[in-house]
Structures are given as C-alpha cells and as structure tokens.
Amino acid sequence: MDALTSNASLILDGFWQTLKLLAASGLLALVLGTLAGVARVCPIGVLRGAAVSYVTVFRNSPLLVLIFLTYHGLPPIGIDFGFFVMVSLAMGVYTSAFVAEAIRSGVNGVAVGQAEAARSLGMPFGLTMTQVVLPQAFRVTVPPLASVFIALTKNTSLASGFGIAEATFRLSGGIRDFPADRWWLFGGIALGYVLIVEVISFGANRLERRWAVTSR
C-alpha cells in the first residue's frame, strides 16, 4: 500500500497522460471515422472505394505495427511532431476505421424515406447527410461508439513502450522499484482504468436515454 501512497502523484500524472492520449486520439478517430463512414455510403464510386480500402487496411492492421510505422517510419522522411502526437496519430487512425463502421451502420439504420424526403426538397447529398441523416445516425451509434472508445482506453497502454509516461508506464516503473507491492500497484492502476471505462459507459447510457426521450 505504501507504494501507491508514496507514488500517488506519479500515478495520477500517468492517468492524466492516459486521458490526454484518449482525448487526442479519440477526437481524431471521431472526425476521420465520420468522414470515412459517410464516404462509404456516398454515391460517388471513387470516394466509396477509397473509404472501403481505408477501413479494410486500418481495421485489419495490428495497432502496435501502426504505432511502430508512425513512430519510427515518419521521422526519417521529415514528419515528426513529437512522441505524443505521433502515437496519438497512430491510435486515432486505427480507431477511426472502427468508428467508420459504426457510423456506416448508423446511417444504414436511418429510414430511407428520410433521405428521400430531403432529396425531394432539393437538398444535395452533403446537406442531406449533415442536416438529416447524421443527427439520427449518431443516436443509433452511441452504444457501438462507446465500445470503440472503451477499447481505445485500453489500447492507450501500448504507448508505455514508446516512452509516453502514461498509467501503464508508471505501473512498470512501480513494479521495478517496489516488487513486493506489485499487487497493490496492479490493483490501483487497474482500478483507474475501470473508473475511466465506467465514466465512458455512464456517459453513453445517459446520452442514449436523453436522445431516446427526445425522439419520442
């Protein structure tokens, strides 16, 4: 227990880094995933094919490999934004493929008559998606998106192997310095991850209930 109390500031800083990784990569994944999801249902064949290729490549690539490629492959060609940004970029691009699939399923879950009514009023595809379809699709995709971000929370632990002092990195250092208290350290760090996941789940449930009441 002393290992937890004496290293509380380091552990809290580690979780702060974890939350920053989650926020940065999650925001990037949400933006790229939404664009890719919309492109997958776009009537333009080239955009649709590009989106399918994007999702297929990144969804089926190991995240650790993508981090290696971004972390070690981009700096030699002159692209280097620092360790934190490079790891966040890899995680965001990887997660965006799963966000895209969730968005696509949500768009397909919206009644066809909604888009047809918008087109009958002369609204172009882009305006139909942003004003009519996507607002309804996001309501459907809350549970799967929550699952995606919960998985991303756990995936941030991979950043510990690349010098990012997040929660798992602090756990490794704590076990090395306090081997007799390894179970206390493991339990404390695990509890921190559980709390983050529970907050995401709670927020998703509240949002889903609010939108369900609004739609009635």
Q: Which domains does the chain have, with CATH numbers?
A: 2-214 (1.10.3720.10)
Q: Which residue reads 């966040």 in tokens?
A: 88
Write the pLDDT tens digit of every residue in 167-183: 776 777 666 666 766 77
Write the pLDDT tens digit of every residue in 34-75: 999 888 888 888 988 999 999 999 999 899 888 888 878 877
- Give residue 22's pLDDT: 93
Burial bucket for residue 52 (CB in 10 Å: 0-12, 13-18, 19+):
middle
Q: Which residue reads 């955009």 in tokens?
A: 47
pLDDT band at 31 (very low <50, low <70, confident <90, very high): very high
Q: 209 versus 23: which is more confidently predicted?
A: 23
Write the pLDDT tens digit of every residue in 94-126: 999 999 999 988 888 777 777 777 777 777 777
Q: Can you tell me the distance from the alpha carbon of 173 to that of 158, in angstroms, rounded to the nearest whole number?
A: 15
pLDDT band at 32 (very low <50, low <70, confident <90, very high): very high
pTM greater than 0.75 = yes
- Give residue 73's pLDDT: 81
What proportion of the chain, given as a percentage, has pLDDT over 70?
85
Question: What Å distances lie between residue 128 and 25, 48, 85, 99, 109, CA to CA?
Answer: 28, 17, 34, 20, 15
